[in-house]
Amino acid sequence: MNRRLEVKLTSWQRQRLQQIRDHPPSARVGKRAVCLLLSADRSPSKLISQVTGLSKDAIPDIRRRWQERGMASLKELPRPGRPPKITPEYRKQLRKAVRAGPFAYGYIFTVWSIARLNTHLQKTTGIRICNDWLRRLVHAEGFVYRRPKHTLKGKRNEKAFRKAQKALNRLKKGL
């Protein structure tokens, strides 16, 4: 281990890192706190990597940033790239629509399909995403999506249905 990358903690820093480890504001910050605590205890990078799931290359970077910025090195910095398309408002509208059902919005169907839900959300939020991504979002929000099974049960004459079913079975068996 490189001498320059040793992590030394004051008692206040150790206590604060333990608080962050126990109640992290995000998974990344929690992993950084665990990495620094283990590094201060002189744990090998291999063990830190196994415990946190961080790559071995990330560990020296975390240590170096700690030496340069201290507690500020734990903060989440803005990530490069396009901002997420899915806003908290979109997720709110998604939850509201799935809970209420399509009938509440004046549609003639009673069960959402992913395509219909996507079209509805596009109208209400102005955001269009692909159906596969919406299916994942529905699952991530804790809802279970299954394609509806269309049957005539309860809408047909059950007595006539059973009679026809028996006749069909007799024909299949050649009686």
Domain chopping of the chain, boundaries:
3-74, 93-175
Mean pLDDT of 59-68: 93
Q: What is the pLDDT of residue 147?
A: 67
Mean pLDDT of 128-149: 87
Which of 14, 2, 19, 3 lies closest to 70, judged by CA? Answer: 14
pTM above 0.75, yes or no: no
H-type alpha helices, 53-157: 58-69, 88-100, 114-125, 131-140
106, 127 Cβ separation under 8 angstroms:
no
Q: Is it the case that residue 54 has pLDDT exceeding 70?
A: yes
Q: Is it the case that residue 94 has pLDDT exceeding 90?
A: yes
pLDDT in tens, 22-32: 999 988 999 99
Encoded amino acid at 112, one letter? W
Q: Which of 21-35, 85-99, 150-164 has the lowest mean pLDDT?
A: 150-164
Neighbour-count burial of 88, counting CB atoms closer than 10 A to its CB (0-12 exposed, 13-18 middle, 19+ buried): exposed
Neighbour-count burial of 63, counting CB atoms closer than 10 A to its CB (0-12 exposed, 13-18 middle, 19+ buried): buried
